[in-house]
Amino acid sequence: MYALNHQPLVSFKSSLAGGRRSTGKFIKVRKAHVPSFGSRPNGLGSVRAVISGGDKAAVEEASTPPVQSKDISGTLKPSSSSPIEVKAVVTIRKKMKEKVSEKIEDQWEFLINGIGQGILIQLVSEEIDPVTNSGKIVESAVRGWLPKPLPSEHSHIIEYAADFTVPSDFGCPGAVRITNLHGKEFYLLEIVIHGFDKGPFFFPANTWIHSQKDSSQSRIIFKNQAYLPSQTPAGIKGLRHEDLLSIRGNGKGRRKPRDRIYDYDVYNELGNPDKSEEIARPVIGGEERPYPRRCRTGRPPSKSDPLTESRIEKPHPVYVPRDETFEEIKQNTFSRGRLKALLHNLLPSLAAKLSSSDIPFQCFSDIDKLYNDGLLPKDDDEQKESVLFSGNMMKQVLNVGGQWLKYEIPAIIKRDRFAWLRDNEFARQALAGVNPVNIEILKEFPILSKLDPAVYGPPESAITEELIEQELGGMSVEKAIEDKRLFILDYHDIFLPFIEKMNSLPGRKAYASRTVFFYTKTGFLRPLAIELSLPPTPSSPQKKHVYTHGHHATTHWIWKLAKAHVCSNDAGIHQLVNHWLRTHACMEPYIIATHRQLSSMHPIYKLLHPHMRYTLEINALSRQSLINGGGIIEASFSPGKYAMEVSSAAYKSMWRFDLEALPADLIRRGMAVEDASEPCGVKLVIEDYPYAADGLLVWSAIKEWVESYVEHFYSEPNSVTSDVELQDWWNEIKNKGHADKRNEPWWPILNTKEDLSGILTIIIWTASGQHAAINFGQYPFGSYVPNRPALMRKHIPQEDDPDYEKFLQNPQQTFLSSLATKLQATKVMAVQDTLSTHSPDEEYLGQVNPLHTHWINDHEILELFKRLSSRLEEIEKIINRKNKDSHFKNRSGAGIPPYELLIPSSGPGVTGRGIPNSISI
């Protein structure tokens, strides 16, 4: 047997040069070349190997086993009773950067493997052993020695081998059992079996193999052949069921970091009543506050509240199944982001503590300095002294973090620093900004609330027909509605029930808002009126204010404040509903159910697998630091401690699985109409709607890929209804993952391949295109505070207010003091920077990681995937052409940033483009 440092990616550089996107490290299947292991088991030519023979091991050249006669199925044909020699090549990934102690441990592992005491492997045949009534089994141990390291960028990937003596009637291998006898886990990339015809056979793993001392269960790895449950070969049918049972667990006990158990729980870990009553939070999930389920950790309840799970605080990790954790490159990228955020917030935090209050921006140049000079302006010695108080350690930190204290200039002001002031830019961002999914057509007048009038007052909006017609230049409201020219951003009903509580929080002043837009004949969207409402009181049953642009200086500044309040509401709904709820939180049950109910050899599992990467881990980190009680979201956005209750209310009143399909969502909002002649069956009401236009291109590519994939595996009548794993998967998503919505009538049925294709397209779109469109623009659009304030600290001054005279004397100061403080703003900016960053190991839609090219053994499917990749290339070119076409005013023109959020490819960093396969940040 042998071990060697391996260079399995020897041909990847040439492949990358011809791949679809050269910016990343991932390539299309059609261009990927992995060295054939048929005659070169290690990919490097002949290798020295230790061959076991009795009590001695002789070093000799590894050679290809003699050719045996085969039958037409490709398995070994018993020409005689002589046993056959086959070889298993085991590929393991080590850490890229190891400590000295870890390198010493590696030497010990090589020694243990060399004597056959490190890794045991069983080959399991697809054929039944009549004696045991289960798959035929042969067993061997990895034996290896430490060769001279080979210089390679992939020196952290090593190979071992195990030789097997296989009976001539063994049949075709279908599964591998692997047992780790070492004292710690290792990461298994794949196992390749040589010696069979039509081989080698690939067993992709990409999984952590636990130590036997932690669990006596061996791990089961299946061949890369996709099988529906009814097609499973008899010899591995029991293993298929056994593996699924081990993943589901029993729903009891606290999960350990090494576990790979997937189960459900409510959001009962957001608060920490044991630490302080101030950060106690209600359970999210259940009849009172419905919500999707998260991954169960099994931690004990808190001491103060039996309904609240005890907290795990940084730096200790929250449990996610072992294979869901970040890989090394991703972890390093995320850790650098956290350090950068720490440095960004360091000085504002110190300044706030030293002054006993948080410091507002005094002038617009204060904001500009964040990008031009960093947080510590070079020419402001007085500020340096007052903030840093001459601490040597602090000075060293600042010297080390120098460049990191400086923010990149956001895209929204990079081309035109005054763009945010203009009404057409305010409106443009409703179609081409970071939250382009809430604008809807205005279908009727008057605008009515659906809230209980006995509690929230008269349902009619204060935006009247007369007021709108004053802005329409002679057109009637009826005609504008008929011509589909009036649109609305309506955050009235979602916020009004929470406004009183939100405004009771220190430093928070919010309204429920409505904004009406008019689409002009010249192709621009123009805001006409903004309504800002407060809950009625006995003394003031109608607390609704309507603002229009006006031309007087006073009304002009008040209009700016009204727009800022709308942007603040938009930022809150974007973060809590469209981003967190509709992508992150709703994907989690799909992922849990996929692991629990679909075997890794199920074709639908293989289809969905790349769209689940890193999501459970990033969600766990979010529950720990972002959406938790006292976390960054509460500290930085208007709803404050009621943020997750707002999110729950949106889930209860608005979320429907069937309407998460992009065409259905556009029709629901009136932004598109049904049109069978169009590729996706819909025609946009506003042609120049960049999110929708580009999104439909990506949606159609995903849909075509999914439909072809499903057709390939479900060509037989009743094949969908007879697939027991698939039916259990869909039932579990509805009844456990989204248990609070399980009785809704709108859930799609799952009887046909068309039903299945529709469901899968929604899931894949949610994980890829939808998340990309509303996530990676956060820093480009949100990091310039006046453009998109995450919260407002003051109401708009009225004429009878004490501060009204101050507003008239210094409207700029009133505006800036209404925005987030420096500390609040830099917290949001730092998080937005991290969330908008692509990791160097990102995997994009239409690409395959070179280490995962053996994900399926099906030539037709690989050809279909190449077609998806080619289509995405075309879409990228189409989008680039549109961004240069002056006809599309919402994505081109003087100072207008191009709309790139749905361009499929990207390099690492904050790029404002790229569609990852999964919700990985």
**Integer Cα distance of 739 and 285 in angstroms:** 9
Mean pLDDT of 698-709: 98
For the question of residue 316 being annotated catalytic, the response is no
Confidence of residue 359 (pLDDT cuts 50, 70, 90): confident
Report CA Rg, the chain.
Answer: 30
Categorize the per-residue pLDDT at 342 as very low, low, confident or very high, splitting at 50, 70 and 90: low
pLDDT at 634: 95
Predicted model pTM: 0.88
Mean pLDDT for 620-635 is 94
CB-based contact 160:216 (threshold 8 Å): no
Active site residue 584: yes
pLDDT of residue 386: 39
For the cut 70, the answer to whether the pLDDT of residue 852 exceeds it is yes
Give the number of residues written for the chain.
921
* 406 contact partners, CB below 8 Å, separation of at least 6: 370, 371, 373, 374, 375
What pLDDT does residue 892 have? 95
- Torsion sign (Cα): 620, 626, 627, 630: positive
Q: What is the pLDDT of residues 885-918, one digit of tens each?
A: 999 999 999 999 999 999 999 999 999 999 999 9
Q: Residue 2 is which amino acid? A: Y
CB 196 within 8 A of CB 34: no
* pLDDT(355) > 60: no
Compute how many other C-beta atoms are within 10 angstroms of the C-beta atom of residue 372: 12
How many CB atoms are closer than 10 A to CB 778? 26
SS3 725: helix
- CB-CB neighbours of 208 under 10 Å: 17
CA proximity to 775, closest of 637, 572, 575, 564: 575
70 Cβ neighbours under 8 A, 6+ residues apart: 76, 77, 197, 198
What share of the chain has pLDDT > 90, as a percent? 70
The distance of Cα 633 from the centroid of its chain, to the nearest Å, equals 17
Structural contact between residues 125 and 86, judged by C-beta atoms closer than 8 angstroms = no
Q: Which residue has the higher pLDDT, 634 or 20?
A: 634
DSSP single-letter state for residue 597: H
Is a pLDDT exceeding 60 seen at residue 672? yes
Which band of pLDDT confidence, cut at 50, 70 and 90, is reported for residue 329?
confident
**109-123, 132-146, 353-367, 431-445: the lowest-pLDDT one:** 353-367
What local confidence, expressed as pLDDT, does residue 693 receive? Answer: 98
pLDDT of 758 reads 98
Q: Higher model confidence: residue 854 or residue 328?
A: 854
Angle at 540 between CA 535 and CA 541, to 5 degrees: 65
Q: Cβ of 129: how many Cβ atoms within 10 Å?
A: 16
Task: Give the mean model confidence (pLDDT) for residues 592-607.
Answer: 98
Query: Residue 81, Cβ neighbours under 10 Å: how many?
Result: 8
In the three-class reduction of DSSP (H, G, I as helix; E, B as strand; rest coil), residue 540 is classed as strand
Other C-beta atoms lying within 10 Å of the C-beta of residue 350 = 17
Chain mean pLDDT for the chain = 86
- According to the model, what pLDDT value does residue 12 have? 33
Q: Two tokens at 597?
A: 């109910």
CA terminus-to-terminus distance, the chain: 41
Is 579 considered catalytic here?
yes
pLDDT score of 842: 92
Side chain identity, residue 233: P
Contact call for residues 124 and 175 (beta carbons, < 8 A): yes
Whether residue 72 is predicted with pLDDT greater than 50 in this model: the reply is: no
**Res. 337 pLDDT band, cuts 50 70 90:** low
Angle at 724 between CA 718 and CA 728, to 5 degrees: 120
pLDDT at 8 over 60: no
Catalytic-residue membership of 921: yes
Decide if 917 is catalytic: no
- pLDDT at residue 38 greater than cutoff 50: no
Report whether pLDDT(201) > 60: yes
Residues 224-265: tens digit of each pLDDT: 999 999 999 999 999 999 999 999 999 999 999 999 999 999
Which of 584, 611, 838, 854 is an active site residue?
584
Burial of 460 (0-12, 13-18, 19+ CB in 10 A): middle
| Cβ–Cβ < 8 Å for 837, 207 | no
- The per-residue pLDDT for 328 is 77
Question: What is the amino acid identity at position 639?
Answer: P
Name the band, by pLDDT with cuts 50, 70 and 90, for residue 298.
very high
pLDDT: which is higher, 660 or 830: 660
pLDDT tens profile 365-405 = 988 888 866 554 444 444 444 333 334 444 444 444 444 45
- Selected catalytic residue, list 435, 628, 775, 883: 775
Residue corresponding to tokens 């029930």: 497
Tokens representing 568?
A: 């603040």
Dihedrals phi, psi of 511, to nearest 5 degrees: -130, 160
Distance CA 518, CA 351 (A): 45
**pLDDT number for residue 76:** 46
Mean pLDDT, range 39-55, rounded to an integer: 30
Q: What is the model's pLDDT at position 340? A: 58
Confidence of residue 129 (pLDDT cuts 50, 70, 90): very high
Per-residue pLDDT band for 343 (boundaries 50, 70, 90) equals: low
Q: Cα separation of 571 and 80, whole Å?
A: 73
Structure tokens at 890: 């919402």
Q: Using omega within 30 degrees of 0 as the cis cutoff, is the peptide bond preceding 78 cis?
A: no
pLDDT top residue among 350 and 49:
350
Q: Per-residue pLDDT for 96 more than 90?
A: no
**Could you tell me if 420 and 566 are in contact, meaning their C-beta atoms sit under 8 angstroms apart?**
no
What's the pLDDT band for 103 if we cut at 50, 70, 90? confident
Structure tokens at 886: 């002056």
Instruction: Answer whether residue 284 shows pLDDT above 90.
Output: yes
Summarize pLDDT for 161-173 with one digit per residue, the tens.
899 999 989 999 9
Q: Is 320 left (phi over 0), alpha (psi -120 to 50) or beta?
A: beta
Half-sphere exposure of 528 (CA within 13 A, CB side): 24
C-alpha to C-alpha distance for 111 and 49, rounded to whole angstroms: 14
> Does residue 117 surpass a pLDDT of 90?
no
pLDDT, average across residues 523-532: 96
Is the pLDDT assigned to residue 879 strictly greater than 60?
A: yes
| Local confidence band at 270 (pLDDT 50, 70, 90 cut-offs) | very high
Top-confidence residue, 624 or 43? 624
* Among 579, 795, 838, 852, the one annotated catalytic: 579
The amino acid sitting at 552 is H
Render the burial of 233-264: b for 16+ CB within 10 Å, e for the rest. bebbbebbeebbeebebeeeeebeeebbbbbb
Q: Are 797 and 814 in contact (CB under 8 A)?
A: yes
**Range in 58-72, 340-354, 627-641, 717-731 the model is least confident about:** 58-72
Structural contact between residues 524 and 890, judged by C-beta atoms closer than 8 angstroms: no
Q: What is the pLDDT of residue 338?
A: 60
% of the chain with per-residue pLDDT over 70? 83
Residues 771/662, Cβ–Cβ less than 8 Å: no
The secondary structure of residue 537, as a DSSP letter, is B
Cis peptide bond prior to 173, omega within 30° of 0: no
**Range in 11-15, 381-385, 468-472, 856-860 with the lowest mean pLDDT:** 11-15
Q: Count the neighbouring beta carbons within 10 Å of the beta carbon of residue 545.
A: 16
Q: Is the peptide bond before 780 cis (omega within 30 degrees of 0)?
A: no
- Compute the distance between CA of residue 312 and CA of residue 687 in angstroms, rounded to an integer: 49
**Catalytic hit among 565, 771, 852, 854:** 771
Distance CA 415, CA 421 (A): 14
Residue 917 has φ and ψ, to the nearest 5°, of -60, -30
